[in-house]
Amino acid sequence: MTAITNYGSLISEAGAMYGNGRTDLTSRWAGFVQRAENEINRILRTDEQTAVTTLTAASGVLTCPSDWKRIRSIRQTVSKKYAIEITDIEVIERYLSDITQTGDPYLAAEVGGTIYLAPAPEDGVTFRVFYHRGVTALDSADDADTNWLLTSDPDVYLFAVLKQAAIYDHDDGALQNYSSMFANSIGQLIKQNHMDKHGERLVMMPNGGVA
């Protein structure tokens, strides 16, 4: 088995495991990786994906970073400012339609990579934002490209890619096999993250034992 450390070794190992290096799939692996990353980003929620940034208001809104997936918390960088409540865009729109004055925001909603605030802040006001970032896409043009997930848990990537290959091939047996492997590997990663964060809790069993 080849050690998986980057895009090139991921594709090499996936190709060796699926169809014993079939050449007809050569042009397909980049697409398999892309779709695998999309699925991983829909499922995975770990502390490793929490990032913090400082955003500056312009025209009453904030522009999210490129790796943005979901807002977690937001507050002004000025000290002694309360955390801003995250709400729906409809609430923001109702507020802004009634009140046009700028001020210290206490409501925020994110739509399409833009954070809308109410009241709207003045230009230049800065905000500290914690957010959930996606897994950075591997660059198929750079065989040496890698990211934190491929480094820490290459099996998650590998099984996700092999699952996509099986879908393309309409191979039900391989799809069932790699889907199970992917679900197990990403499930273990999520469980381990939860245990690292909250500790392993003992659960009382009906017979008086623990698990």
User: pLDDT tens across 26-35, in order?
Assistant: 999 999 999 9
Cα separation, 117 vs 18, in Å, equals 49
Per the CB < 8 A criterion, the answer to whether 34 and 137 are in contact is yes
* pLDDT tens, position by position, 11-27: 999 999 998 878 899 99
Q: Both tokens of residue 86?
A: 């995250």
Are 142 and 33 spatial neighbours (Cβ–Cβ below 8 Å)? no
Which pLDDT score is estimated for 100? Answer: 80
- Are 161 and 29 within 8 A, CB to CB? yes
Evaluate whether 155 touches 15 at the Cβ level (below 8 Å): no
Q: In the prediction, which pLDDT does 201 show?
A: 53
Dihedral angle, C-alpha 167, 171, 172, 177, nearest 10 °? -80
Provide the pLDDT for residue 209: 44
Q: How far is CA 188 from the centre of its chain?
A: 16
Pairing of strands 114-118, 61-63: antiparallel
Low-confidence stretches of the chain (pLDDT beneath 70): 1, 196-211
> Is 62 in contact with 114 (CB distance < 8 Å)?
yes
**pLDDT of res. 28:** 95
Q: Tell me the C-alpha distance between 160 and 89, whole Å.
A: 34
Q: By three-state DSSP, how is residue 144 classified?
A: coil
Main-chain dihedrals φ then ψ at residue 42, nearest 5 degrees: -75, -25
- Spatial neighbors of 78 by CB under 8 A, at least 6 apart, are none
Q: What is the pLDDT of residue 101?
A: 84
Helix (H, G, I), strand (E, B) or coil at 114: strand
With H, G, I as helix, E, B as strand and everything else as coil, classify residue 75: strand
Residue 98, pLDDT score: 87
5 DSSP assignment = -
